[in-house]
Amino acid sequence: MIPQVQPQEVSARIASGEAWTLLDVREAWELAICALPDTLHIPMGEIPARWTELDAAAPTVVICRSGQRSQQVARFLQAQGFARVENLAGGILAWARELDPTLTAY
């Protein structure tokens, strides 16, 4: 089971300066539409070849557009031994809706 984290909680983590990874698994064209600052971008299709670039011991929140792709990636990372991986519930759409309406929904 992958824990779901709400946009407000991730925002609070950003504000606190807590050390963790925000992994955006959307495609580059999606990031060009809207993106959060200080994210690590690895498209979902590249995760199987690049997951070793991530720190399995660090808390990791995975984000996509709506939370579906990120859920799959979080499951994959958990299977690779990531014990502290979470999915951003609702993805960037929830972030835009709940925290930053200036982000372009697509």
Q: Which residues are catalytic?
A: 64
Task: Identify the three-state secondary structure at position 100.
Answer: coil
CA distances from 86 to 6, 66, 91, 102, 103 (A): 10, 14, 12, 25, 22
Distance between CA atoms of 94 and 83, rounded to whole angstroms? 25
Q: Which residues contact 49 (CB under 8 A, 6 or more apart)?
A: none
